[in-house]
């Protein structure tokens, strides 16, 4: 065990503060650094190239110097890499080759997609590596700090690093979800599908409602969020609690006529949303047929409507291909 490794182990076991350096003072890095500082750790320096990163560092980490990545790494007992996924390997490899990452040092990244493999060069020089992804969206401002309380972190770590990883998550106010190395991409896909695609879905619903109100002068200034907020809030809470049992609406009732009317209006007024409507309607139908809420004969009629919609002149080639794939899978 190197001197630095003994020091880090002793400090984490005793609850003493670590000297922390952060490379990538973006929305995530600046907030995590501020949270670690509040937990008693010393933020020795951060690296950030953009004006926005420097502004975040000044706002959230007053007094912390902004330095070059190698200088940050050389000062840190714990080095936190919060750079974009596609840059992560290059940054870690460069710092390892330059000697800025060294034996016994804790090197942690916050990518959801990557596990420990992306830090293999750091591990090769003796660093102790951890992947620790916060399952949260960040604004890069102080409003994110209380949101970390109770946040789940997707953590991948070796047996010797599990204890320190657990302690760091606790310092941030969160709880760990232990993710196997080979399941990192699936873990991240689940979060991106649930969160990012939810934003797209809500944006499309807003556009449709805006079209509903567009021709009525009495509804000038109408905000679709007023209609959607209570509905979506209840739907999300119910889905998180009850899963598929929370499904309601025309698919659950097997209302083929209503679905047909939806498809006609969406195709006419908001055709760019038609592929996602059809895809999600088809998946919803599969679920309510599987659990017995809609009879197969009723479902077959709705499937024909969905397939006709994506095979029509307004449908893209990709959407028609998806329909064919779904039909072949059945």
Structural domains in the chain, CATH included, are 3-179 (3.40.50.720), 187-329 (no CATH)
pLDDT at position 49: 85
List, for residues 240-278, the tens digit of each pLDDT value: 999 999 999 999 999 999 999 999 999 999 999 999 999
Across residues 67-90, what is the average pLDDT? 97
Across residues 71-76, what is the average pLDDT? 98
List, for residues 222-244, the tens digit of each pLDDT value: 999 999 999 999 999 999 999 99
- Burial category of 228 from C-beta neighbours within 10 Å (exposed 0-12, middle 13-18, buried 19 and up): middle
Question: How many whole angstroms separate alpha carbon 166 and alpha carbon 177?
Answer: 10
pLDDT at position 327: 47
pLDDT at position 6: 59
Angle between helices 296-311 and 317-329 (to 10 degrees): 150
Question: How many whole angstroms separate alpha carbon 83 and alpha carbon 50?
Answer: 12
Torsion of CA 214, 219, 221, 222, to 10 degrees: -80
Question: How many whole angstroms separate alpha carbon 115 and alpha carbon 185?
Answer: 9
Q: How many helices (H) and strands (E) does the chain have?
A: 15, 7
Computed over every residue of the chain, the mean pLDDT equals 91
List, for residues 2-23, the tens digit of each pLDDT value: 555 655 665 555 567 899 999 9
Is the pLDDT confidence value at 177 over 80? yes
Q: What is the pTM of this model?
A: 0.83
Is the pLDDT confidence value at 220 over 90? no
pLDDT interval class at 42 (50, 70, 90): very high
Question: How many whole angstroms separate alpha carbon 28 and alpha carbon 184?
Answer: 19
pLDDT at position 215: 81
Joined together, the tokens standing for residue 78 give 């714990």
Angle at 80 between CA 76 and CA 84, to 5 degrees: 140
Joined together, the tokens standing for residue 166 give 């657990």
Across residues 29-40, what is the average pLDDT? 97
Is the Cβ–Cβ distance between 265 and 212 less than 8 Å?
A: no
């Amino acid at each position: 065990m190197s001197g630095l490794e003994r020091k880090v182990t002793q400090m984490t076991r005793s609850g003493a503060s670590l000297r922390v350096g952060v490379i990538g003072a973006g929305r995530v890095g600046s907030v995590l650094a501020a949270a670690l500082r509040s937990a008693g750790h010393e933020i020795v320096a951060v690296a950030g190239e953009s004006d926005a990163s420097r502004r975040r560092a000044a706002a959230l980490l007053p007094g912390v110097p902004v330095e070059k990545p190698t200088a940050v790494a050389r000062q840190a007992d714990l080095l936190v890499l919060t750079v974009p996924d596609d840059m992560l390997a290059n940054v870690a490899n460069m710092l390892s080759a330059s000697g800025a990452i060294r034996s016994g040092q804790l090197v942690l990244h916050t990518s959801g997609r990557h596990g420990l493999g992306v830090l293999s060069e750091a591990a090769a020089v003796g660093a102790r590596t951890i992947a620790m992804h916060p399952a949260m969206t960040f604004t890069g401002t102080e409003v994110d700090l209380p949101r970390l309380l109770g946040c789940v972190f997707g953590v991948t770590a070796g047996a010797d690093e599990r204890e320190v990883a657990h302690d760091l998550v606790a310092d941030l106010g969160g709880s760990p979800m232990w993710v196997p190395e080979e399941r990192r991409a699936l873990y991240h896909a689940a979060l991106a599908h649930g969160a990012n695609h939810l934003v797209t879905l809500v944006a499309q619903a807003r556009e449709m409602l805006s079209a509903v109100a567009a021709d009525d002068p009495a509804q000038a200034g109408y905000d679709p969020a007023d209609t959607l907020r209570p509905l979506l809030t209840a739907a999300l809470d119910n889905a998180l609690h009850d899963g598929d049992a929370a499904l309601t609406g025309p698919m659950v009732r097997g209302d083929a006529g209503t679905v047909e009317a939806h498809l006609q209006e969406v195709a006419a007024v908001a055709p760019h949303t038609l592929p996602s409507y059809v895809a999600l309607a088809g998946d919803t139908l599969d679920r309510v047929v599987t659990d017995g809420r809609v009879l197969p004969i009723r479902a077959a009629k709705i499937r024909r409507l969905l397939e006709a919609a994506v095979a029509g002149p307004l449908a893209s080639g990709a959407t028609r291909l998806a329909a064919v794939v779904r039909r072949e899978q059945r």
